[in-house]
Amino acid sequence: MTKSVEYFFSIGSPWSYIGFDAFTELAAKNDVVVTPYLTTVVEENGGIFSRNRPEIRRAYWTRDLKRWARVRGRELRLEHRPELSDPAPASLFVIAAYLDGQDWIGVVRALQHAFWSEARDIGKADIREAIVTSAGFDGAALLRRQADDDVQNKWSADRVHARDSGVFGFPSYVYDGELYWGQDNLPFLERHLRGDRP
């Protein structure tokens, strides 16, 4: 029987990047339909941007990211990154692809890899257009679509839904009313999908 998981994430979250392939593989293996919700840190629910954490926590966060990146086989460029603009607008490309029935997973993968492994400035429209075009998508069409009402409305609605679902950090997954925060919780999500509800 097909199962449905709500997937809350941010293009600008390194944890979303690290856990993305593990999640999509888990979803495919367990006959899961994924509904993506894109937003930024939900501060109303207690989410904290890494830049606002004490230095000692940021240092640990960086070490933990590096450990998990090695486990997941992901290269993260965390040091010596150039000044980059806000990556959040790249979410609009993903939303447009999703609404148009395209391979939104492929769009996410291309944009996150460029941002986190190559430190490319996906906040700039021409750069993200070039990235998705080189990955085999119609970057010009996605660029045009990002300003459309349905794309903008989903972007706004996704934040409200994240807030109302109790999401505060990324990635988060909701299945059968149960919230799982963090890519390190994927084993618990998979147990739930297989019938072991907590």
Residue 103, class by beta-carbon neighbours within 10 Å (0-12 exposed, 13-18 middle, 19+ buried)?
middle
- The share of the chain scoring above pLDDT 90, in percent, equals 82
pLDDT band at residue 52 using 50, 70 and 90 as cut-offs: low
Cα 84 → chain centroid: 18
Two structure tokens written together for 116: 């986190």
Give SS3 for 12.
Answer: coil
Give SS3 for 7.
Answer: strand
pLDDT in tens, 69-126: 999 999 999 888 888 888 999 999 999 999 999 999 999 999 999 999 999 999 999 9
Two structure tokens written together for 185: 């919780």
pLDDT value at position 78? 87
Q: How far is CA 111 from CA 31, 50, 87, 133, 152, in A?
A: 25, 20, 9, 11, 19
d(CA 165, CA 162): 5
Task: Determine contact, residues 102/137, Cβ cutoff 8 Å.
Answer: yes
Tell me the pTM.
Answer: 0.93
